Amino acid sequence: MLKSLVFGVVAAVACVGVASADPVVQVVDGERAIPVRYADLNLSSDEDARAMLSRLRYAAYTVCDPNQIERQAPEYRRQERACRNAALENALLRLDAREVTEMHQRR
């Protein structure tokens, strides 16, 4: 029940993002998704690319909340890192902004 409610809210939020003119990229893990808006950023500038990467990392952290992942220590830490890495990589592919991707690869 809770999962379907969360999924419905996520779907509604995603639709709002699509309906607005603001550019948005979804950071996704399974049924959870977080829209990251970037209309206020110029992704070709280093400062704004860094800000976007920070937003994407935070969204990946949030979508892969360790409270949502089975805690089978020490395995859950690996699951959490794998989830965050996959969510971030997927979002970078969807964003398709060379400067942001290159900044991520340098770290």
* pLDDT by 10-residue block (mean), the chain, 107 residues: 36 42 88 93 96 96 72 73 94 96 92
Q: Give the other-Cβ count within 10 Å of 60's Cβ.
A: 24
Question: What is the SS3 assignment for 31?
Answer: coil
20 secondary structure, DSSP code: S
Domain limits at 35? 2-106
Instruction: Name the token pair of 38.
Output: 């970037």
**Residue in the structure block whose two tokens are 């409610």:** 5
- Contact (Cβ atoms closer than 8 angstroms) between residue 49 and residue 106: no
User: CB–CB of 56/92 below 8 Å?
Assistant: yes
Tell me the per-residue pLDDT of 82-101, one tens digit each, with 9 for 90 and over: 999 999 999 999 999 999 99
Could you report the per-residue pLDDT of 4-14, keeping only the tens digit for each?
333 333 333 34
- Count Cβ atoms within 10 A of the Cβ of residue 73 and give its class: 0-12 exposed, 13-18 middle, 19 or more buried: exposed
Helix (H, G, I), strand (E, B) or coil at 52: helix
* Domain count across the chain: 1
